[in-house]
Structure 1
Amino acid sequence: MDVKIEETTIIHPSTPPFNDDHVLSLSHLDTDINLHVTFRYLRVYVNDPETQTREQPNPFHVVTSSLSSALVQYYHYTGSLIHRVEPDDRLELHCQAGNGVPVTRAVVACTLSEMNYLDDPDESFTEKLVPDPRGEDALTRPFILQVTRFKCGGWVLGAAIHHTLCDGLGATIFFNAMAELARGAGQVKLEPVWARSSLLGPRDPPRVDFPFHEFLSLDKNSLPYMEPSKPAVRECFKVKDEWLDRLKGFLREQSGSNYTTFEALGAFIWRARVMASKIPSKETVKFAYATNIRRTMKPQLPHGYWGNGCVPMYVQLLAQELVNQPLSKTADSIKNSKFNTTDEYVRSFIDFQELHYHEGITAGERVSGFTDWRHLGHATVDFGWGGPVTVFPLSRHLVGSIEPCFFLPYSSASEGKKDGFKVLVYLQEEAMADFKKEMEKLEHIIGLSRF
C-alpha cells in the first residue's frame, strides 16, 4: 500500500516563548548512552460512523494547531541536541528563537478497516507512517510528527522522538497537553517542569552503593546497540488469558509464590529466546527492563516532570542456568529485582553515570529487553476523535537490547473477542522458527514437568 507524502511543514510556537538563544542541561538519566536512540510509534484514530454525514475536521490542522499552542510551554521540543566538548561529550539541548517542529502530511487510498486498524501491521507499510530521522538529523530534529489520513477519514499520528528528550511517559504528558488544547482547553492544565540537572543530577561527591559493575561494563570503544550482521525480524504472538492463568498456576505450584504477568511471561519468553538463539551455555545473558522512578524518588518528582523518569533494571544468568533451572526460579529473579527500585538505587545509578560516562558504559551483548505497554495511558490521548484504537511501537532498541519484546493490548477496533493481549518480539530470523515452537508450548503448559 502506497503512502503519498503531500507536504512537510515546520510548526512554530503560537507565541514566541523566549527571545534569547540558550542551552539547557539534561539529567544523567537523559544522557545515558543507551538512550541515544529515536523511539518511534504510531497512534490510530477512527471516525465515528454517526458523524460521517457531517463535515469532519482535518486532523492535520487539528494536530498542527494544538502543537503550535502546546509548544509555547514545551518549546524544548523545537531545540537541537548537541554534544558538548567539555568535560565529557554529553548531550545538551540548544534552544534557538525561530525553531519549530516538522510535521508531515500524508494520505493513503484505503480504509483503516482494510488494514485491520494496524493491529498487527505489515512492517514495510508502517515504516511509511512514522518519520525515521537518521544520524545528525535525529539530533537536530529530535521531535518529528506525521499525520496520515486514510480513505475512511480515520488517521494515524506517527511520532519520532529522540529518547534523550523524554521517555514514553514524558511524551504522553506532552501529547495529552496537545489533545487538551485540541478539545478546546484554554491552556495546558499540567504545568511542565524542566529542572533536569537539579532534580536528577549527581550527588557531591558522587557515591555508588549498588554493584552496577556486575551488570554494566566500561568500554569507551563500544557503540550503543551494535547491530548484528543480520537485522532482527518481527513477529506478533497472541497470548490468551487462559494460558497465562495456567502458567501462573503452574509456577505457584512449583514455588508457592504468586507472580505478575510480566514476571511469569517474561521468564518464559526470556528462556525461549535464549534456547531458540542457541547461545553458548557459558555466556552471560541478561533480562533488562526500565522501571518508573517518578514516585520512588525522595522527594517525588513533580507531576509535570516530563524528562526520562525510568532507570534500567537487569537480571543476569549463565545461559545454561537459565535453560536448566526451574522456570519459577527465573520468575523469582525478575520479581526480586524490583525490590532494587529505591531512591538510593537511582542516586547510585546517576552517580555511576557521573563517574564513568567518559569510559563508555555498556550493558554488553545478549541483552533481552522487555517492556509492558498495556497500562501506560496511551489511550488517553484524545484529539476529539476519542482515544487511539491502536498504539504500536516501531522501535528496535530498548534498554541496551537490539531484540526488544513489547506486551501490547489488542486494537479496540479490530474484530473478534479480545482475549489476553499480544506480544511483539524481535529476534534473529534463523532463531524465530524455534522460538515459535517454544511459544506454542504456552497453550499446553499443564503437565509439562520440564518447566
Structure 2
Amino acid sequence: MAPPLTTVAVRRGKPVLVGPAKPTPREVKTLSDLDDQEGMRFYSAGIHLYRGDPAKAGQDPAKVIRAAIAEALVYYYPLAGRLREEAGRKLVVDCNGQGLMFVEADADVTVDDFGDVQGPPFPCFEQFVFDLAPGEDERVIDRPLLYLQVTRLACGGFVFGQWFSHCVTDAPGGMQFEKAIGEMARGAAAPSVAPVWAREFFSARSPPRPTHVHLEYEPSAGGPDRLMAVPRSEMVRERFFFGPKEIAALRKRAPPHLRASSSRFELITSCIWRSRTAALGYGPDEEVRVSFIVNARGRSSIPVPPGYYGNAYAFSVASSTAEKLTGSPIGYALELVKKAKANVTYEYLQSVADLMVLRGRPLFTVARTYIVSDISHAGFKDVDFGWGEAVYGGPAKGGEGPILGVANYYSRYKNDKGEEGTAVPVCLPLAAMERFRSEVQNLTKEPAFDPYEQHVANFNT
C-alpha cells in the first residue's frame, strides 16, 4: 500500500444550509449543565472514509447524504437551530430550523492513497472537513451546530467530514445522529433509535449542592506547568502499541488482587501516566494528574435514557506527587485510576452540574494533567450511508486536546504482525519522548520475576 498522503488538493463547492425536510417545532430548548461548561464550548472534528461500491454506480454520495440529512433533521430538529447565551452563561438552543452547513467537494485521490490509516490524525484532515477560519472552532454562539463536507474521490469512494458543536452532543450522541442519517440514506422511514432531549437529567439541583471534590476543576499544586511553554515546533508525536503481550506484562506487574479485575484501559492509563510523569522530569513534590472521560451510558447506576444524545460523561481525576508515582510499582497508579473511575456515579454527575452553576462553568484543569479518552469502542466505523462500513472512522485531529501534549485518544489498532491491540498517540518534547519510550518498554516487557512480590520483600527488609 502507498505511503499516506502528505498533500492533496480538494475542490470545494459553495456551502449551503440544509434544514429539516418538513416543518419542525419552533421552540427554545435548554442545554444541561454538563453541556454548557467552558470545556465543551468548541467544535470537534471527525472523519469517515468509504470505498466505492460498484452497485452504487451513478449515485452521488454527496446528493444522497444531503437529502438524508434533511430527513434526519426532522427528528433531530434542535441540531438545525442556533445557540444563545442567557443569564449566568446558560446556553439554550433556539430551534429555528435554519439548518446545518453542508458543502460538496472533489479530490483526485483514491482510498488507497490514504495508506493504512487506523487512528488520528487523518492524513491531510484539514482538506476533508469544512474550511473553518482560524479560531472559528471555538466560537459557538449563533452559528450552525454542525458543518459537514462530503468529498468525492477518484475511485468512487468518498470522505464524510464533520465539525459538531460539543455543547450539544458528545461523540456517542454524534454517532447516533450520523447513524440516523445513514439509515435515512438507506431508505428507512425513521431512525431506529428515537432521539431523546431530556437535558434536565444532567441539570443542576435547586439549590445547587456539590457533594464531591472535583479536582478536575481545581488548580494543581506546584505552579505553572513547564510543558505549556514548549513551542509546537519542538514537540514530536509517536504512536505506542499495546497488544496482548504488552497487556499481559502490565497485568503481571499489578498487585495480585488487581490482576483479574483491571481492564485494558486501566492498565494502559496507569502505564502512560507513570511513564509520562517520569519522562517530563517533574519535581518530587509537584502534583501530577491523569484525567479520563467516563461515559455514563451503559452504567446500571446511571440510567441514561435510550436515545439521549447530549453530553453524558464526566472527567474523573487521579492525583499523586511525582515522586510517589514514579517511585512506586505500577500497582500504585492502578489503584488510583480504578478508584477515580469508580467514583463516577449519577450523584457525581449531578455534583458536577451543581458546581458548574456555582462556579460560572469553569474550564477543566490541564496543568500537569494527562487527559485521555478511550474511543476504541465508540463504533465510528459502523456509520453506513449505503456504501458499507467505513475504512476509517474516528477523530480527524491527533487528539492533542486544547493544549498540545495534554490529551490523547485510545483507538483500536492492528500492527504489522497482524496483532489486534490499542494505539496510544503521544505528543511530547523530543528528549522527553526518548525517556518515555524507555519507560514504557520497561513496563511492558515480560518480568523475570513477580515484581510485586519483590517489592514487598524489599519493603520488609
Task: Give the TM-score taking structure 2 as reference length.
Answer: 0.84
Q: Which secondary structure does the structure 1 equivalent of 2:152 belong to?
A: strand
Offset of 1:56 from its aligned partner?
4.7
Q: 1:123 to 1:284 in 2, by over 3 A?
A: same
Q: 2:38 aligns with which of 33, 50, 74?
A: 33
Which residue is 1:405 aligned to? 408
Offset of 1:261 from its aligned partner?
0.8
Distance in 2 (CA, whole Å) between partners of 1:342 and 1:326 is 28
Letter in 2 for 1:230: P
Offset of 1:29 from its aligned partner?
0.5
Please give the root-mean-square deviation of Cα atoms over the aligned residues, in Å: 3.0
Distance in 2 (CA, whole Å) between partners of 1:352 and 1:401 is 27
Letter in 2 for 1:426: C
Q: 1:418 to 1:256 in 2, by over 3 A?
A: closer
Q: 1:102 to 1:120 in 2, by over 3 A?
A: same
Q: Is the 8 A contact 1:39 1:395 kept in 2?
A: no
Matches within 5 A, 1:2-151: 2-7=8-13, 8-18=15-25, 20=26, 22-48=27-53, 51=54, 55-84=57-86, 86=87, 88-97=88-97, 99-119=98-118, 125-131=124-130, 133=132, 134-135=134-135, 138-139=139-140, 140-151=143-154
The superposition leaves residues 308-366 of structure 1 with CA deviations (integer Å, 9 ceiling, x where unpaired) of 011111111111121111101111111122221222212212112222226x4542411
Task: Give the TM-score taking structure 1 as reference length.
Answer: 0.86
The superposition leaves residues 246-287 of structure 1 with CA deviations (integer Å, 9 ceiling, x where unpaired) of 221232559666421111111111111122222222221111
Q: Which secondary structure does the structure 1 equivalent of 2:294 belong to?
A: strand
Q: Is the 8 A contact 1:238 1:423 kept in 2?
A: yes
Distance in 1 (CA, whole Å) between partners of 2:219 and 2:121 is 38
Which residue is 1:222 aligned to? none
Offset of 1:146 from its aligned partner?
1.5
Distance in 1 (CA, whole Å) between partners of 2:211 and 2:279 is 36
Q: 1:442 to 1:388 in 2, by over 3 A?
A: farther
Distance in 1 (CA, whole Å) between partners of 2:347 and 2:111 is 47
Distance in 1 (CA, whole Å) between partners of 2:42 and 2:245 is 37
Q: Is the 8 A contact 1:296 1:343 kept in 2?
A: no
Q: 1:96 to 1:227 in 2, by over 3 A?
A: farther
Offset of 1:228 from its aligned partner?
4.6
The superposition leaves residues 153-205 of structure 1 with CA deviations (integer Å, 9 ceiling, x where unpaired) of 22221111121111101111111111111111011222211131x22211122
Distance in 2 (CA, whole Å) between partners of 1:415 and 1:12 is 45
Q: Is the 8 A contact 1:44 1:390 kept in 2?
A: yes
Which residue is 1:207 aligned to? 209
Q: Which secondary structure does the structure 1 equivalent of 2:189 belong to?
A: coil
Matches within 5 A, 1:133-212: 133=132, 134-135=134-135, 138-139=139-140, 140-196=143-199, 198-212=200-214
The superposition leaves residues 114-155 of structure 1 with CA deviations (integer Å, 9 ceiling, x where unpaired) of 322433577661222223635456411331112122222222
Q: 1:297 to 1:82 in 2, by over 3 A?
A: farther
Distance in 1 (CA, whole Å) between partners of 2:60 and 2:238 is 34
Offset of 1:395 from its aligned partner?
5.9
Letter in 2 for 1:266: T
Which residue is 1:311 aligned to? 314
Identity of aligned residues (%): 26
Pair 1:242 & 2:249 matched: no
Distance in 2 (CA, whole Å) between partners of 1:76 and 1:117 is 37
Letter in 2 for 1:158: G
Moved more, 165-174 or 373-382: 373-382
Q: Which secondary structure does the structure 1 equivalent of 2:124 belong to?
A: helix
Distance in 1 (CA, whole Å) between partners of 2:338 and 2:276 is 19
Which residue is 2:459 aligned to? none
Distance in 2 (CA, whole Å) between partners of 1:292 and 1:254 is 25
Distance in 1 (CA, whole Å) between partners of 2:79 and 2:228 is 28
Distance in 2 (CA, whole Å) between partners of 1:300 and 1:439 is 37
